[in-house]
Amino acid sequence: MLEERSARGASRLSTLQWIACAATALAVIVSLAGYGWYQGLVGNVTTTEVDTDEWGERPVDVDGIMNLLVLGSDVRTGDNADYGDAEGERADTMLIASIDVDSGAATLVNLPRDLVVDLPGCDPGDGYEGMSPQEGMISSAMTFGGVGCQWRAVEEVTGVHLDHFVMMDFIGFKDMVDALGGVEMCVPEPVDDPKAQLELDAGLQVLDGEDSLGFVRSRYAQGDGSDLSRIDRQQEFMGAMLREALSSEVMRNPATVTEFLGAVTDSITTDDDLSVDTMADIAVSLREIDLDQVQFVTVPTEAHPENENRLAMGPEAPELFAAINEGADLTADQEDEAPDGDGSVDPSDVSVEIVNNTDIDGLASEVEAFLTGEGYEVTGTGNPEERAPEATTVFHGPGEEAAAELLAGSLENTPQTEEADGLEGTLELVTGVDWDGFAERSDPGSDLSVTEDLDGVTAEDEEEGAC
């Protein structure tokens, strides 16, 4: 149970599937506006025609809001043949990126590929056989009708007006990561997944393009094996990659920026209406992006009543889609839920040091991965020096009872809390011989207030090599 839950906690680390990096592609086209290579690089983007006029009545678009359908193409031909020999083209991952072009706030909504919905019919053409209206997995529309069919399906299912689409394949993702010199990730447990061509040791490490691709594609060898668990892990990776791409070290290096954006523009496909000017508008709005204004959300889901291996829309999903289509800023909602001085405490306000007083090797690191994923700031790990109780205990300073109770509630069999001398501003969690893991948590798709930000790992954590 400990291993299962710690993996799930690690995957919740607040930082999308490899394709979500196509969203970064547009976000990072940001820097194109700041360099002289803008026109030339954007000219490398492949475009395809999608006639939305044929669809009839569509959801109304909102002025100042740009909704992008971001797709990960699972095509296995050409350079991508090394990753399998499946026929056809599928949307391995998809999300809606809703961007406020005035404020730069962005909400990215993941649509699980295991989600079963009522799909609209699509006419045959351009090598696709078409399909009649039917119930099926949301990701299957592209197989039968191409990207236009997938676009229409997502728009009709969600009721969200989609302005454009962006699509990327495996090779493009790898090249983007390698252009950055890799992405640093915390891998809480060793990974051995032949299906994803991935083998990793546990610990803090820099993943190159090949390993990064395996990390975000891997499903059954990490977490609980579900698509939702994989989405959490992909969100983690996306946050880390976005921070790396927008870091001062990258932005100040013209050669790195050129290589990265070259990989971006060489590997993405968009609709032919996504013009250079439109990309420039997005770039300008995101140039001074604050990562607190970027939120990841997984559409609320529940088990499909006829197939336990599939998902159905949860009852809260229409509310989420309506908010997106109205241009609501969900990041503002997140801020509204922050403590307002009435004594309430949020995990992001709590700093904690983890002390392992058991004989379980590596337990402190596993607990750290879980708590960081829950939003707590872990300042360090180690073995007992001053306090070594046999029972798991949360020690706190004066006036920090609420923070201690919140932390204790995140653990199985809520441990005792105790005030201790010498503690101020940082809690101390000592795991004892009664350690029993982490408290059960609700499905991230069951509550619209559960969103992901990009600040789950602090700079201090990264500098200390915490993992």
CATH code: domain of residue 415: 3.30.70.2390
Choosing from 336, 355, 380, the residue where a domain stops is 336
Residue 161, Cβ density class (10 Å: 0-12 exposed, 13-18 middle, ≥19 buried): middle
For residue 42, the model assigns a pLDDT of 60
Report pTM: 0.61
267 and 354 share a domain?
no
> Are 16 and 235 in contact, with CB atoms under 8 Å apart?
yes
85 and 20 share a domain?
yes
Assigned domain for 455 exists: no
Q: What is the pLDDT of residues 48-93, one digit of tens each?
A: 889 898 898 999 998 889 899 988 766 434 444 443 444 446 667 7
For residue 336, the model assigns a pLDDT of 46
Choosing from 284, 310, 336, the residue where a domain stops is 336
317 and 431 share a domain?
no
Bridge-based pairing state of the strands 351-356 and 198-200: unpaired
For residue 419, the model assigns a pLDDT of 92
Instruction: Dump the DSSP string for 25-78.
Output: HHHHGGGGGGSTTHHHHHTT-EEE---GGGG-S-PPP-TTEEEEEEEEE---SG
CATH code: domain of residue 295: 3.40.630.190
Assigned domain for 236 exists: yes
> Are 163 and 67 in contact, with CB atoms under 8 Å apart?
yes
322 and 362 share a domain?
no
198 and 55 share a domain?
yes
Q: What is the pLDDT of residues 425-458, one digit of tens each?
A: 899 999 998 888 887 543 333 333 333 333 333 3
Domain that residue 375 falls in: 347-448
258 and 310 share a domain?
yes
User: What helix, strand, coil percent values describe the chain, rounded to 5?
Assistant: 40, 25, 35
20 and 114 share a domain?
yes
Assigned domain for 77 exists: yes
For residue 292, the model assigns a pLDDT of 65
269: left (phi over 0), alpha (psi -120 to 50) or beta: beta
For residue 276, the model assigns a pLDDT of 62
Count the neighbouring beta carbons within 10 Å of the beta carbon of residue 130. 13
262 and 408 share a domain?
no
For residue 424, the model assigns a pLDDT of 86
> Are 454 and 24 in contact, with CB atoms under 8 Å apart?
no
320 and 392 share a domain?
no
Q: Which residues of the chain have pLDDT under 70?
A: 1-43, 73-91, 246-248, 250-252, 254, 276-277, 279-292, 331-344, 440-467
Quote the number of domains for the chain.
Answer: 2
Assigned domain for 380 exists: yes
For residue 444, the model assigns a pLDDT of 34
